[in-house]
Structure 1
Amino acid sequence: MCCGRNYALFALCFLLPYMVWSQTNSVSIRLQEMNRQPIVGATLRLTDRADTTRHLYALSDTAGTAAFRVTPGKNYGLLVTSVGYKPLRKLIQSGQTSVTFTMEQDNVTLQSVSVVAAKPLVKQEDDKTIVDPEPIAATSTSAYEIMEKTPGVFLDPDGNVYLSSTTPATIYINGREQKMSAADIASILKSLPPNSIERIEILRTPSARYDASGTGGVVNIVLKKGVKLGLTGSVNAGVNQGRFGNQFAGVNLNNTQNGRTMYLNLNYTNRNTYEQVQSNRRFAPDTALTQDAYTTYPAQIAYVGYGVGFELSRKWDLNFDGRFSWNQANSEASNENRIRQLSTGRLLSDNLNEVNNRNRILSFSQGVTTRLKLDTVGSELTTDVSYNFIGTRGLQDFSTRYLQPERPGTLGDGSFTNRRHLLAAQVDLKYKLPAAITLESGVKTTVQNFSSDAAYFTGVNETRQPDRNRTNRFDYRENINAAYVQASRLFGSILLKGGVRLENTNMNGQQRIPADTSFRINRTDLFPYVYLSRRVAKIAGYELRSYLVYRRSITRPAYDYLNPFARYVDQYLYETGNPALRPQFTDNYEANISVEERPIFALGRNYTRDIFTNVVYQDPANRSIAYRTYDNLGVNRETYFRILGAIPPINRYFFVVGAQYNHNEYTGVYENSPLNFSRGSWSFFTFHSFKIDKRSTATMNGFFRTRGQLQFYELSNFGALNLSVNRKFMDDKLMVTLTANDLLFTNYYEFVLKQGSVTADGLRRNDTRRFGLTLRYNFGLRKREERMNMFNVEPPTQ
């Protein structure tokens, strides 16, 4: 019955806009030099000759190609500009579908070139949202901070990235899934310099081309590569200060000539931050445990990103790219634990835990991609092979001092080593068939090996002995094989895309110490995908388009979720896995509307079965001890909608504002009792830009989240307001930026947890309020400047 209502709602949301019918055609424009080499990164402007106020913009890709959707029966004026070439003006006549133009080189010596094109902060491109990180990067010190400020993205304190409020999103870098823990991914994002990101792709309902594991959606971080003419680059350095300080410096080099592209990014960061977690948990009717944990995270990070690309022929290109980072990440934690009798306020126990970690993290990634163009209409065969390694070596010292009642303290130490190897290979074919049909298919295999070896010792009265509660050793192997096929066709103004993905999953985990807790999982699943898009109408000259998407996906439990061995956290809490945990499946339905490829409204629903959630139970043998684990609790229905709007520039000012509402309903069983949980939350974000003069710009961005939710944790209201002012000097080559992040120090929250017999509340805050200064000097040919304007309306020159 529920599914019937979902399909009815799904169909209704999409069919309503079909009262208006319109058609568009696609025109492909290829730009080349006199020697027929493609011209990359050129700016193309298409103007409707019947309405010269209407412009369409695009940038030529690595093949020198750009595509526009145009109205049949109309003629358009084309203007092409590119650094080092003379402007090109041509007429695109009705009925043309593919044209090639040759641009002449400009022999004038270039000193300072500024080509202005309208580039939106957020735009919709078929089934994905594209975010331009450039205005956010100026106020950030790492890619992690950019993600925190990206509209519609929420990061929890553990490093998970959420597009909805139930399941974390899957993180991709350059189109490759990062099969790592949230902590490992957070470490990599913190090592990426902020100006290394070209764009952020948000796919809430990815197509069959992507792995089916992206139940929470996919966030693909696309890194910059060298696409400039000649040798260009930048040098940057900066500091910011909160309670602790961060310092960073880096250099970026790009070189493109004779069909060869090279880039090199170097960055060094010295950072420190803190986290404070205060909590209260009742473990008996008249007894409560109060904990106050304060942790600092000093770290030094060295990062190298590199790549080289070759155009072997007009049809075949080959690219190598890689990343290397060295992270010396330490932590120093102090946790005060007090147990009181509530009726009398009497202190029953008081002790202090101290834990110091010294971690060395090596991360390495290398990828090789090839692309073979099969024809001139867009058919191509691509291959991608990548290898990722992340290794951690750590030392830990811990101690407990018992202040009341007084007794001898305990101390201990340990060492651990983690190694994760991931090899992935995939082949994708896109083929243009007759009748305007595009066929896509591909195969992929990934092999992941993870091993962990930890040895711990404790001491009492100078007696050192093995700690069996912490010592463990295990190996884990995962192999996922996949194949997919999907096809798309334009029926008038309707674009229909449908496909299916088949995935074979093989998991094998084996714990060797302290006991054998081996498990093996083998299963094969099918995942359908349907996408519909249609131009609905023109309002005030702007194209209104509607989209409808359906997708089925899976979330597989990781090894830590399955391993039943108890992992010690402190004397009042431990973690354990659940080997009976089943994967969860999600059906997602979404309808959305965009204007000129700018998303303005979306409505969707996620229906998840066998949802597994992080839960907390009381230890049956000792009620003062709790343990965290994972359980399949039942089903969850999440309904959400998003709205995004912008005000066109008024003189030198414009802004973008958006909001998202999520409502979750859990129905299941918890501690052998019925579970019903319902909660809705709002998220608001905004971005403002004001051009003070020709060289100075002020920006403001921020978010506010009300009645937040993190699985079963109910969060208080929280948010952040960020300000920046930048000014250019030295012929616009030097940019100086002043920043204030979380100016009002509101990016922290209180939480309440009520799960069966567990009742807890507390507060969690970080070192988020920071003031900073960043310097960036560009050398070589000037970087193209692109305005961030939601509706491609350029402000008048002052």
Structure 2
Amino acid sequence: MIAIRNLFWGFVLTCIFQVTLFAQSRSLQIRLQEANQQAVLGATLQLTDRADTTRKLYALSDTAGKAVFSIAAGHSYRLVVTSVGYKPIRREPLPGVGQAAVTLIMTPDNVQLQAVSVTAAKALVRQEDDKTIVDPEPIAATSTSAYELLEKTPGLFLDPDGNVYLSSTTPATIYINGREQKMSAADIASILKSLPPNSIARMEILRTPSARYDASSSGGIVNIVLKKGISLGLTGSVNAGFNQGRFGNQFVGLNLNNSQGKRSSYLNLNYTRRNLYEQVQTNRAFAPDSILRQDAYTTYPAQVFYAGYGLGFELSKKWDLNLDGRFSWNESSSSASNSNQISQISTNRLASDNLNLTDGSNRMLSISQGLNTKYKIDTLGSELITDVSYNFTGNRGDQVFSTQYLQPEGATTFGDGNFDSQRHLITAQSDLKYKLSKSITLETGVKSTWQNFTSQQNYFSLINTQRLPNTARTNAFEYRENINSGYAQVSKTFGLFMLKGGLRLENTNMDGHQRIPTDTSFKINRTDLFPYVYLSRRVAKIAGYELRSYLVYRRSITRPAYDYLNPAARYVDQYLYDRGNPALRPQFTENYEVNISVEDRPLFAIGQNNTRDIFTNVVYQDPTNRSLAYRTYDNLGTNKETYFRLLAGIPPIKRYFFVFGAQYNHNQYSGVYENKPLNFSRGSWSFFTYHSLKIDPRSTVTLNGFIRTRGQLQFYELSNFGGLNLSLNRKFMDNKLLVTFTANDIFFTNFYEFTLQQGSVSATGLRRNDTRRFGMTLRYNFGVRKKEERVNMFNVDAQPQ
């Protein structure tokens, strides 16, 4: 809306006008001591300005346990204190920051690590600059994979195809360890289902990423950061469990972390055996007086082996080197039964009845290898990071299918096919962050990606005992992509304000070539600019809690994936097929957002996404045969999405805390479909919540769930749906063993009915999955810390105040 844009820019100008109010520096003394008032010397203190987290101050406590900082008056700070032989201290925000001196008590730690225990609940969701940080620990124990963990994260929505949505009708882009996974939604979902949840350190949600990130993220970014060897000595865990719905899942895994001196390493191994089902029922107008009723039931048994590893080396005080890699082998199969009946509406007479049976197998190999170096330029935080990675994904499988004609009775038809696809992706990027001063930071970098995708599908039909090529299904497709980019952005703090502005340049080169069944090709070569503006300031302080506002503007692009462009027809059943659209143009989105956080926890946001040339999954009637329909993608028009989001709860204190949120999305679409105007306006609500109650020092019960009302998925209108999950954790064996009982989708409400009214296409239906499951997980934690000599405790890379 114009009003929101006016509000956005009016607020920006107001904030910029007020930046002339500069804060004064003052001295803050922090004293560290034990409970008996004995001073703690040689401790490392890190103070982070919460208005600009790139600004960090360091100090060592002296023989009196004191450390002195020069800080800006009125600012809020985050403090981390570490010392060998003591438990770390984390204060956010730092209590007593308005005083001249603060005294903190440090608790001695055992030399040998007997168990991994949580002494205080962490915040499930917190805000850090322009990204939301989700701590997966509270929900990892109740999940069997990273995919399930995303499903239970407040504010995220996953559709049945594996797409992740934040606050936009465009799916989010998935990153792992800061690297984009350029795969189809189905392949990414397969990778996430093989990733063990307790291997994840945190999830970063960027609804409006800065110029540092690829512009191809209109729907935002979800970055999954994996754990690394950060503990002293050897630590790890073994876990095993199962859950049971209509079908059962079983899994077992091992995690090892090791850190010795300047070297660290980690190893994750996981094996999963799973099965699930999907049921899709559809009623589609077939002719003026006919209706096609379809009921498809498919099972997906699979075995997955996953291995992840990492090696880290501190080459010197300035150089760090890290190697990491992942290996995933997914051997799956599917068995589908699809009943198709055509009836006359006026008489309810059955005109046709047939049954499609399809059995398939698929073997997917995914390999990822990365090399990362970091060079610390100075003691202010300037650094140069270079990252190179290679990813390979290979899919190979086969299908056997048949159609039984029950009414009118006819001979059964048979066929089979095989497919082989390979994807190679090489990424190289270098990012420089340079502190021009304590308040000014320059960021710049370059990035190039090269992707090559090949697909070969061969299908055959059995006719009179002869196996003949099926030209309607056989196809071969090649796709190459090269994207080169560069960016520059500057951030500056003005007392209570932090302003960041940047510009990203991206050069896109896409080349697709279909060789079978027809020789077609397409090319896209273009260069685009993408601006970004971010402003943060403190709004007020109420009852000791600090409120900060964040204002963001960005422009982004969504490029069509190779499967959107491939024009080859992909058979679904005898009444429906899929095909790509090589004429598909990229879509562009402008986003405006204003949000407010309380003590680094997101509270409220309002924004708008304006998208042009939006490409949408559409269904057309076949021009030569009305009994056939095909699904494809097309640039149909523009979409204006206005949204607001509210998140509230009790901080993680004492025995109980909870998070509750609500989000409203209103879409106003304007376009042309089948040469006729297509306009609609629709709003939908999403509610989500998370609760944790500590029954006793060893037992915790958690409850989380969501409700989505009047949902929308592309042009599909969805009914109300949601899910409620319950878990109980109990520790045994000196807190080393954690036993978790889970109940997912207790009331079996996580399914939806849908309606499609799109030009000449009218359909209704239902989609259901194997979501109601009950299970148990066992996790045993172990670890040994070697005794550290205190003579080396001053050998730290201290930074000046």
TM-score between the two structures when normalised by the length of structure 1: 0.89
Partner of 2:408: 405
Q: Distance in 2 between matches of 1:370 and 1:619?
A: 54
Amino acid at match of 1:560: D
Matched, 1:340 2:343: yes
Matched, 1:588 2:591: yes
Partner of 2:199: 196
Matched, 1:240 2:219: no
Conserved? CA contact 1:260–1:309, under 8 Å: yes
Q: Distance in 1 between matches of 2:399 and 2:490?
A: 54
Matched, 1:128 2:126: no
Which secondary structure state, in structure 2, belongs to the residue aligned with residue 518 of structure 1?
strand
Q: How many residues of Structure 1 are paired with residues of Structure 2 in the alignment?
A: 759
Amino acid at match of 2:141: A
Conserved? CA contact 1:75–1:93, under 8 Å: no
Conserved? CA contact 1:614–1:629, under 8 Å: yes
Which secondary structure state, in structure 1, belongs to the residue aligned with residue 371 of structure 2?
strand
Partner of 1:724: 727
Partner of 2:775: 772
Amino acid at match of 1:148: E
Q: Distance in 1 between matches of 2:504 and 2:327?
A: 33
Q: Distance in 2 between matches of 1:448 and 1:716?
A: 39
Q: Of residues 8, 11, 15 in structure 1, which corresponds to 2:9?
A: 11
Partner of 2:427: 424
Q: Distance in 2 between matches of 1:433 and 1:693?
A: 51
Q: Summarize the alignment of residues 458-497 of structure 1 with structure 2, pairs less than 5 Å apart.
A: 458-497=461-500
**Shift of the alpha carbon at 1:427?**
0.4
**Shift of the alpha carbon at 1:109?**
4.5
Partner of 2:565: 562
* Pair 1:110–1:161, CA change in 2 (3 A): closer
Conserved? CA contact 1:75–1:92, under 8 Å: no
Q: Summarize the alignment of residues 735-774 of structure 1 with structure 2, pairs less than 5 Å apart.
A: 735-774=738-777
Conserved? CA contact 2:286–2:626, under 8 Å: yes
Conserved? CA contact 1:113–1:781, under 8 Å: no
Deviations 1:61-82 (A, max 9, x none): 9999999996528999977356
Conserved? CA contact 1:112–1:781, under 8 Å: no
Q: Distance in 1 between matches of 2:699 and 2:763?
A: 49
Amino acid at match of 1:205: T
Conserved? CA contact 1:72–1:94, under 8 Å: no
Partner of 1:35: none
**Shift of the alpha carbon at 1:390?**
0.5
Deviations 1:435-487 (A, max 9, x none): 62100000000000000111110113322210001111111100000000000
Amino acid at match of 2:8: F
**Shift of the alpha carbon at 1:564?**
2.4
* Pair 1:342–1:540, CA change in 2 (3 A): same
Matched, 1:515 2:518: yes
Partner of 1:167: 170
Conserved? CA contact 2:121–2:652, under 8 Å: no
Partner of 1:273: 276
> Greater CA deviation, 60-69 or 491-500?
60-69
Partner of 2:334: 331
Q: Distance in 2 between matches of 1:231 and 1:264?
A: 11
* Pair 1:108–1:776, CA change in 2 (3 A): closer
**Shift of the alpha carbon at 1:26?**
12
**Shift of the alpha carbon at 1:569?**
1.4
Q: Of residues 357, 361, 368 in structure 2, which corresponds to 1:358?
A: 361
Which secondary structure state, in structure 2, belongs to the residue aligned with residue 10 of structure 1?
helix
Conserved? CA contact 2:608–2:642, under 8 Å: yes
> Greater CA deviation, 77-86 or 653-662?
77-86
Partner of 2:608: 605
Structure 1 segments unaligned to the other structure (5+ residues): 31-41, 49-53, 783-798
* Pair 1:519–1:731, CA change in 2 (3 A): same
Q: Distance in 2 between matches of 1:724 and 1:162?
A: 25
**Shift of the alpha carbon at 1:83?**
6.7
Q: Summarize the alignment of residues 173-212 of structure 1 with structure 2, pairs less than 5 Å apart.
A: 173-212=176-215
Conserved? CA contact 2:741–2:775, under 8 Å: yes
* Pair 1:625–1:377, CA change in 2 (3 A): same
**Shift of the alpha carbon at 1:511?**
1.1
Partner of 1:80: 81
* Pair 1:529–1:47, CA change in 2 (3 A): closer
Deviations 1:340-393 (A, max 9, x none): 001111111100001111000000000000000000000000000000000011
Structure 2 segments unaligned to the other structure (5+ residues): 31-42, 62-66, 786-801
> Greater CA deviation, 207-216 or 82-91?
82-91
Q: Distance in 1 between matches of 2:603 and 2:691?
A: 17
Conserved? CA contact 1:353–1:398, under 8 Å: yes
Partner of 1:504: 507
Q: Could you tell me the percent identity over the aligned residues?
A: 73
Partner of 2:575: 572
Partner of 1:39: none
Conserved? CA contact 2:725–2:743, under 8 Å: yes
Matched, 1:258 2:261: yes
Deviations 1:292-334 (A, max 9, x none): 0000000000000000000000110000000001000111100
Matched, 1:285 2:296: no
**Shift of the alpha carbon at 1:111?**
3.9
* Pair 1:336–1:497, CA change in 2 (3 A): same
Amino acid at match of 1:156: D
Partner of 2:680: 677
Q: Distance in 1 between matches of 2:48 and 2:369?
A: 42
What is the RMSD computed on CA atoms of the aligned residues?
3.5
Amino acid at match of 2:481: E
Which secondary structure state, in structure 2, belongs to the residue aligned with residue 434 of structure 1?
coil
Partner of 1:387: 390
**Shift of the alpha carbon at 1:14?**
5.3
Which secondary structure state, in structure 2, belongs to the residue aligned with residue 745 of structure 1?
coil
Q: Distance in 2 between matches of 1:306 and 1:26?
A: 46
* Pair 1:781–1:116, CA change in 2 (3 A): farther
